[in-house]
Amino acid sequence: MQLKSSLLETSNTNAFISWEANKSMCNFTGITCNSDGFVTEIELSYQNLTGVLPLDSICHLQSLEKLSFQSNYLHCPIMDHLNNCVNLQCLDLSNNNFTGCSVPADMSSLSQLQYLYLNESGFSGTFPWKSFQNMTGLVHLSLGDNLFNPFSFPKEVLKLTNLTWLNLSNCSIQGTIPAEIGNLKELINLELYLNNLTGEIPVEIGNLLNLSWLDLSDNSFTVTGKLPAGLRNLTKLEMFDASRNYLEGDLFELSFLNNLVSLQLSDNKLSGHVPAELGEFKKLEILSISRNSFTGPLPQKLGSRAEFYIIDVSKNYFTGPIPPDMCKQGTMRYLLMLQNNLTGEIPASYANCSTLRFFKVNNNSLSGIVPAGIWGLPNVYTIDIALNYIEGPIASDIKNAKSLAQLFAANNRLSGELPAEISEATSLDSIQLNDNELSGSIQQLPTFLTSFLISNNRLTGKIPSTICNLSLLQILDISNNSLSGKIPKCLGNFSDSLQVMDFRMNNFYGTIIDTFAKVLDLGNNNINDLFPHWLEALTTLRVLVLKSNRFYGPTGNHNISGIFFPKLRILGLSQNEFNGLLPRNYFENLNAMMIEEEGNRENIPLGMQFGTFENSSYDGNLGLCGFPLSIKCSTSDPLPPPLPLIFEEDNDSIFASGFGWEVMLLGYGCGFLVGLAMGCIVFRRGTPQWLLRPDEYQSSKHLGDLGDLPRDSNNEDRFQAQLVLQWSITVIAGSGPHQTSLHYAESANVRQQDELHDFEHEKDLDNYQEGSLQTLHISGSGFQRKCRAVHEQGDEKAMQREIDDLKRQLRRAQ
């Protein structure tokens, strides 16, 4: 009853309803007694209990063999009275809230203990390993997910030869896995993930012939070497996870493990071919070997005898066709084969894979027509076939894809019209069909669309009025087509959502629309209007491009005072009919300005940044005059005053010390505008960070390990570089330590100099997935092979959750 009084007041529980003083304890919920009426078990797991466990009274029960309070909210302190429970055989305090508590320093009297579960309870401090010297009968030991002080693999544990279950995951183990691990020959479950283990997996692990579960993943990429020769002996192994380490060599040792249900080896340095024997495994449900250096073809029988649930072979160097039978059993949910060198057509068999949720084969060399049924898979969430050589139309049965949210098919050879039935795929959120050969007009689009990219196609006709129904639209890129007519005024009403509008290189005419976008590109159209002065006060606008239109009149507006494009970073005004002065207020926040070519007649503002350029930097700007050019302005043209200090000493993390300015001016003259897609644009993760000031960043991100960068001789704490890699990849960066990889790298520009086959730094580009790279620009025709996009972390997290769920199912089955 003392247990009830200690926990009842602080807990919202029904566990003690039957605990009444006039009843026998043996009839209480959670209490078990022996034939003599003595309490042997207290089982109160999952009872929403909160408070301090009164071990002083509990351990007076001398017959107590089991004490289980798993998954409650118990907290500190843990009393030393635990040592009085001398007959205890099972102690389970896992999944509680003992944050800040240490495990009692002396548990040596618990010599009868067979099952000890303290995992995921928030314990810290030094664990009393010496107590195990008396616990020779331990069968299960689970201490994972606690913040113990760092320790080497405890020798006391290596003497517990009766252990069948050992969980020391995420509890600060460091050093090597000792060879003596091979002495624990009864082990069925061994979990050592999320520690700081180093060195190779010992050969002696092959002595654990009963092992069914082996998890060595996430050891800070410090578990090295090859898969040990003895691994082939573990023929009972069902789950093997060594992901995110530094393993190398091939998979030959796994050829013998035909009971595997889950094999996860992603993010290592493994190489060679995938053994053909894996195609014969009948139980395999999860195969995740992404981000390694595997080569050769995948076994064509892969999945033909297994009920595959997840296969992820992404980001390797696999060649040959996609195995046709991986969804033969109708259980596949994740098919991830992106960024390889796979060839051939997508097998028609996958059109029947109704369970499929993620179909991602982008960045390969696939060809042919997409089997019609794939467009209309009923449960698919993502279809990503981008950056291949796929031909043919988008089939009308896409209307059946009621769960489809993301359709990525950019950089292919798709042709025909956009089917009207696409509007019936009502869950579609993002459509990327840019850089194809689509023709016809834009049809009605799904109502909940947030991103629609269909640039660089052969579309004609007008923007349909139904686009006014897309109230959630954030990104609209219809550039480089042959669209005509007026831009619908309704797009100016999407002030709460629409951020990017790219209408350039079409045949639009009329006047400019009201907009609250962050990026507005109307370049290369026939828009006839005055300079849109009302845009000056917008607090969101980062990029404004009006080049190559029929805009006219002065850019200065003397009727507005105090606010002049407060967030503007890029301004393009060339090839119009503007006149008068360029107001210096426009340039307080700019990182780049394009005013080349004839047509405009403006004076160039004075200031340190402009003063760093030679005449050649302004080639083609025949209407410009004034310092630093040798062409003098006429006396009738008053010179603007110098730029304010904020502009002269711009602190933007990308364009340091004037370097970025000259690159931007020259680059645009070569045919591309940094910040807007000429070849391949990626706006998958919100607002590009290169449009933000340094004080808007929260943390630094890395862009792969590309070596040391030249230092700025004028500032030892900053670097600046135009890094030219193979095929002229240009990275503009700034504000980071010189000895590290690129920090704050926001844009990479690729111009074709040769046919791209294998890009030697593409592994470095994989590191963009959590970085700040937002736009990748490719200029030059015919380059459609290896455009790297920012990786969708959401897909991987969703897959990992499903893997974890499957692991829990496997645990329960053990």
Q: Which domains does the chain have, with CATH numbers?
A: 1-149 (3.80.10.10), 666-788 (no CATH)
In sequence order, what are the residues at sequence separation of 6 or more whose Cβ sits closer than 8 angstroms to the Cβ of residue 68? 41, 42, 43, 44, 45, 90, 91, 92
Position 346 confidence tier, pLDDT thresholds 50, 70, 90: very high
Give the residue, 807 or 280, on which the prediction is more confident.
Answer: 280
Contact 353, 328 (CB under 8 A): no
Q: What confidence score (pLDDT) does residue 727 get?
A: 27
Hey, is 43 helix, strand or coil? strand
Res 223: pLDDT:
82
pLDDT for 441: 96
Q: Report pLDDT digits (tens) over 584-628.
A: 666 565 555 554 444 444 444 544 444 444 444 334 444 445 444
Report, in this order, helix, strand and coil percent for the chain, each rounded to 5: 20, 25, 55
150-161, pLDDT tens digit by residue? 999 999 999 999
Is the peptide bond between 628 and the residue preceding it cis, with omega within 30 degrees of 0?
A: yes
Read off the pLDDT of each residue in 546-551 and give the average, rounded to a whole number.
Answer: 86
Range name among 59-68, 223-232, 375-384, 752-761 with the lowest pLDDT average: 752-761
pLDDT tens-digit readout, 756-786: 333 333 333 333 333 333 333 333 323 333 3
Tell which wins on pLDDT, 741 or 44.
44
Instruction: Report d(CA 139, CA 162) in Å as an integer.
Output: 5
**pLDDT tens-digit readout, 178-222:** 999 999 999 999 999 999 999 999 999 999 999 999 999 999 767
**What letter would DSSP give residue 398?**
G
Query: What's the pLDDT band for 806 if we cut at 50, 70, 90?
Result: low
167 vs 77: which has the higher pLDDT: 167
Quote the percentage of the chain above a pLDDT of 70: 69
- Ranges 69-83, 195-209, 391-405, 529-543: which has the least confidence: 529-543
- CA 374 and chain centroid, separation: 25
pLDDT for 140 beyond 60: yes
- Side chain identity, residue 92: D
With 0-12 / 13-18 / 19 or more C-beta atoms within 10 angstroms meaning exposed / middle / buried, residue 801 is exposed
Task: Please give the average per-residue pLDDT across 90-98, as a whole number.
Answer: 96
d(CA 675, CA 569): 9
| Least confident stretch, 11-15, 23-27, 400-404 | 11-15
Instruction: Give, for 223, the enclosing helix (H) or strand (E).
Output: strand 223-226
Give residues with Cβ within 8 angstroms of 635, minimum separation 6.
none
Task: Return all residues near 590 (Cβ < 8 A) that are at least 6 apart.
Answer: 568, 569, 570, 571, 647
pLDDT confidence bin for 546, thresholds 50/70/90: confident
Whether the pLDDT of residue 128 is over 80: the answer is yes
**pLDDT at residue 511 in the model:** 80
Range with lowest mean pLDDT among 159-173, 342-356, 427-441, 742-756: 742-756
Q: Which one is predicted more confidently, 562 or 565? A: 565
Structure-block tokens of residue 739? 């000895």
Q: Is the pLDDT of residue 450 over 80?
A: yes
CB 793 within 8 A of CB 769: yes
Give residue 696's pLDDT band: very low, low, confident or very high (50, 70, 90). Answer: very low
Closest CA to 539 of 557, 560, 565, 520: 565
Alpha-carbon span 266 to 344, nearest angstrom: 25
Asked if residue 491 has pLDDT above 90, the reply is no
Identify the pLDDT of residue 808: 65
Residue found under tokens 């089991």: 66
At a CB cut-off of 8 Å and minimum separation 6, what does 542 contact? 518, 519, 567, 568, 569, 570, 675, 687, 691
Any idea which residue has 């616990």 for tokens? 135
Residue 26: both structure tokens together: 């043996």
In this predicted model, which residue has the larger pLDDT, 749 or 257? 257
Q: Where in 267-307 does DSSP place strands (E)?
A: 269-272, 286-288, 293-297
pLDDT of residue 153: 96
Contact 516, 538 (CB under 8 A): yes
Least confident residue range of 188-197, 291-300, 314-323, 804-813:
804-813
Give dist(CA 545, CA 575) in Å, integer: 11
Six token digits for residue 621: 């700007």
Q: Tell me what the pLDDT averaged over the chain comes to.
A: 77
What's the rounded mean pLDDT across residues 242-265?
96
Strand segments, DSSP code E, in 575-616 are 577-579, 592-594
Tally of CB atoms within 10 A around 496? 9
Least confident of 151-160, 532-541, 675-684: 675-684
> Tokens 């139980």 correspond to what residue?
283
Mean pLDDT for 56-70 is: 94
Question: From the DSSP assignment, how many helices (H) and strands (E) are in the chain?
Answer: 8, 53
Whether the Cβ atoms of residue 76 and residue 52 lie closer than 8 Å to each other: yes
Convert the pLDDT of each residue in 352-376 to its tens digit: 999 999 999 999 999 999 998 999 9
Looking at the DSSP assignment, which residues form a beta bridge with residue 501?
476, 520
Q: What is the DSSP letter of 254?
A: G
Around Cβ 633, how many Cβ atoms within 10 Å?
16
Q: Which residue type occupies 596? A: E
Distance separating alpha carbons of residues 705 and 135, to the nearest angstrom: 48
What local confidence, expressed as pLDDT, does residue 44 receive?
A: 94
Per-residue pLDDT averaged across 719-746, rounded?
A: 29
Residue 334 CB coordination number (10 Å) = 23
Q: Point out the least confidently predicted range of 78-82, 312-316, 455-459.
A: 78-82
How do 715-724 and 711-712 pair as beta strands?
Answer: antiparallel
Q: What is the pLDDT of residue 755?
A: 34
Contact between 66 and 34 (Cβ < 8 Å): no
Higher-confidence position of 716 and 535? 535
Q: How confident is the model at residue 248 (pLDDT cuts 50, 70, 90)?
A: very high
Is the separation of the CB atoms in 276 and 302 below 8 Å? no
What is residue 584's predicted lDDT score, i.e. its pLDDT? 63
Based on its alpha-carbon atoms, the radius of gyration of the chain, rounded to whole angstroms, reads: 33
Round to whole Å and give the CA distance between 435 and 250.
38
* Range in 222-226, 471-475, 805-809 with the lowest mean pLDDT: 805-809
Give the CA angle between residues 267, 272, 277 to the nearest 5°: 100
